[in-house]
């Protein structure tokens, strides 16, 4: 049994060692394709793999067609929009994620980015504090719950809106010290800072548009550690042009990055490469979970965390 670890953005060495231990203790072999640059390398590496561990690596029809032995793909992370689920299902391949395992890493980055922006990139000009500002969490999964937990320490007022939660779950949000917004309009109307935490789905693509952004105050901030496709970039550019204090900070470089940089200077910041989960802690959590899920699937038929 061969398990391929295919990570274009490699895990910390410590995480890889732990993944290897889990896989080898089960009597399987770990193949590694880390930091690869060409799709051809992935296509040739998957040929022998029975199981695959990936991060944001693109697993499309072509990759699946090149992997005749593949039975399981585990996305070591939360979002699996990089995997063609239809093609995987058609090839009888199970796809799993490791929900929650890198949530704290992403949540901590949200605060790093908010403070960096509130202090104008640490340029020693007069900045702002987070205390008493109203933070709106768009969706309320693992990452948003960690953000809500940390926000309590900053004494922020936190609102959360989730299109998928039932009324029972909504009541439970109180446990996290957040105020429920029952619509996205209510969320944007109640917040100074919006942080996006939903997956990329057909129904969430371009969901953040002019009509929502215009509900925010003039000096609002938009924080994106989720997926770039959630935001309609034309509309965000428009609102930032209209409002000279509006800030945008993102861990997902927008398609129109150069335009944002040129037009908005310090009101805009993008990390050079997605780095929310790029910590040794998150790498270990997600990587070890992925390896354990592979062993549990092949030894016991455990399909928990299946997403297709």
Q: Enumerate binding residues for ligand 3PG (CB under 6 A).
A: 9, 55-56, 77-79, 102, 274, 276-278
Beta carbon of residue 69, minimum distance to ligand 3PG (angstroms, whole number) = 24
Do 161 and 183 touch, CB atoms closer than 8 A? yes
Instruction: Name the helix (H) or strand (E) containing 7.
Output: strand 2-7
Beta carbon of residue 270, minimum distance to ligand 3PG (angstroms, whole number) = 15
Do 239 and 219 touch, CB atoms closer than 8 A? no
Closer Cβ to ligand 3PG, 180 or 225, answer by number? 225
Beta carbon of residue 224, minimum distance to ligand 3PG (angstroms, whole number) = 11
DSSP 181: P
Closer Cβ to ligand 3PG, 138 or 159, answer by number? 138
Beta carbon of residue 226, minimum distance to ligand 3PG (angstroms, whole number) = 7
C-alpha distances out from residue 173 to 145, 146, 147, 198, 224, Å? 9, 12, 13, 16, 22
Do 53 and 291 touch, CB atoms closer than 8 A? yes
Q: In what order do the strands lie in the sheet with 29-34?
A: 29-34, 2-7, 51-54, 72-75, 94-97
Residue, CB closest to ligand 3PG: 77
Beta carbon of residue 253, minimum distance to ligand 3PG (angstroms, whole number) = 13
Nearest in space to 221 (alpha carbons), one of 238, 235, 200, 236: 236
Closer Cβ to ligand 3PG, 98 or 180, answer by number? 98
Beta carbon of residue 278, minimum distance to ligand 3PG (angstroms, whole number) = 6
Closer Cβ to ligand 3PG, 109 or 156, answer by number? 109
Closer Cβ to ligand 3PG, 75 or 267, answer by number? 75
| Other Cβ atoms closer than 10 A to 71 | 17
In sequence order, what DSSP letters do the residues of 246-263 get, joined into one string? -EEEESS--TTHHHHHHH
Burial of 160: CB neighbours in 10 Å, binned 0-12, 13-18, 19+:
buried
Beta carbon of residue 55, minimum distance to ligand 3PG (angstroms, whole number) = 3
């Amino acid at each position: 049994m061969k398990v391929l670890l295919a990570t274009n953005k490699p895990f910390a060495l410590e995480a890889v060692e732990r993944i290897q231990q889990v896989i080898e203790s089960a009597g399987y072999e770990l193949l590694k394709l880390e930091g690869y640059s060409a799709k051809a390398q992935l296509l040739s590496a998957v040929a022998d793999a029975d199981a695959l561990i990936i991060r944001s690596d693109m697993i499309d029809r072509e990759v699946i067609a090149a992997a005749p032995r593949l039975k399981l793909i585990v996305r070591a992370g939360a979002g699996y929009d990089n995997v063609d689920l239809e093609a995987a299902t058609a090839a009888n391949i199970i796809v799993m994620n490791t929900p929650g395992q890198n949530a704290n890493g992403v949540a901590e980055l949200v605060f790093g980015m908010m403070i960096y922006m509130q202090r104008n990139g640490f340029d020693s000009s007069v900045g702002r504090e987070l205390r008493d500002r109203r933070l709106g969490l768009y969706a309320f999964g693992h990452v948003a719950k960690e953000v809500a937990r940390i926000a309590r320490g900053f004494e922020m007022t936190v609102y959360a809106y989730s299109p998928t939660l039932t009324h029972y779950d909504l009541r439970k949000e109180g446990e996290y010290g957040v105020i429920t917004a029952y619509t996205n309009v209510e969320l944007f109307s109640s917040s100074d800072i919006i942080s996006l935490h939903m997956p990329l789905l057909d129904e969430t693509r371009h969901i953040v548009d002019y009509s929502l952004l215009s509900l925010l105050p003039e000096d609002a901030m938009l924080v994106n550690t989720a997926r770039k496709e959630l935001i309609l970039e034309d509309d965000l550019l428009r609102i930032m042009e209209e409002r000279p204090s509006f800030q945008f900070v993102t861990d997902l470089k927008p398609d129109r990055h150069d335009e944002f940089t040129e037009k908005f200077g310090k009101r805009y910041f993008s990390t050079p490469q997605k780095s929310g989960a790029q910590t040794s802690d998150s790498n270990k959590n997600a990587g070890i979970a992925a390896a354990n899920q592979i062993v549990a699937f092949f030894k016991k038929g455990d399909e928990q965390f299946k997403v297709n």
